[in-house]
Structure 1
């Protein structure tokens, strides 16, 4: 069965990375017809926060994504990517 990974990356406003990470961890994904297989959170220099979720289905699978965080937590718009396991 194919798997799609959704990557969600945001750059926090200076000094707000812990708040952005806490916000991302607290987000629940809307119910969908398929269960989330896995979800992981990462941080990187430059106040960046990354969340990756894995779902059953192909690249175009209809699965929920994390929303945009409050504007006061971010220095720029969220970046999102999809990848299909090969």
Structure 2
């Protein structure tokens, strides 16, 4: 089974590139099957990691960045893959 963890943060004003660099530099203690990083308007950064695991497995996640780097708490979601079409 494949589980996708999504981590999304919005940078403080003018700190989008710094947040992106910070997210890319974060190492996880276990390597996921896949990891992809995105950016969007309003200096938002999204990281998705894919894991070969059960939906309730304990999986490592990116931490919260320093409070001055972001405008709000990180949003996190966990999805179970239902396959591709």
Same fold (TM over 0.5): yes
Unaligned runs of 5+ in 2: none
Structure-2 residue corresponding to 1:75:
71
Give the drift of 1:59. Answer: 1.4
Runs of 4+ in 1 over 2 A off after TM superposition: none
Distance (whole Å) between structure 2 residues aligned to residue 83 and residue 59 of structure 1: 8
Q: 1:42 aligns with which of 38, 61, 67?
A: 38
Structure 1: state its 5+ residue gaps. none
Normalised by the length of structure 1, the TM-score is 0.91
CA drift at 1:61 = 1.3
Root-mean-square deviation (CA, aligned residues, Å) is 0.9
Q: Distance in 2 between matches of 1:63 and 1:77?
A: 20
User: Which residue number in structure 1 is paired with residue 81 of structure 2?
Assistant: 85
TM-score w.r.t. length of structure 2: 0.92
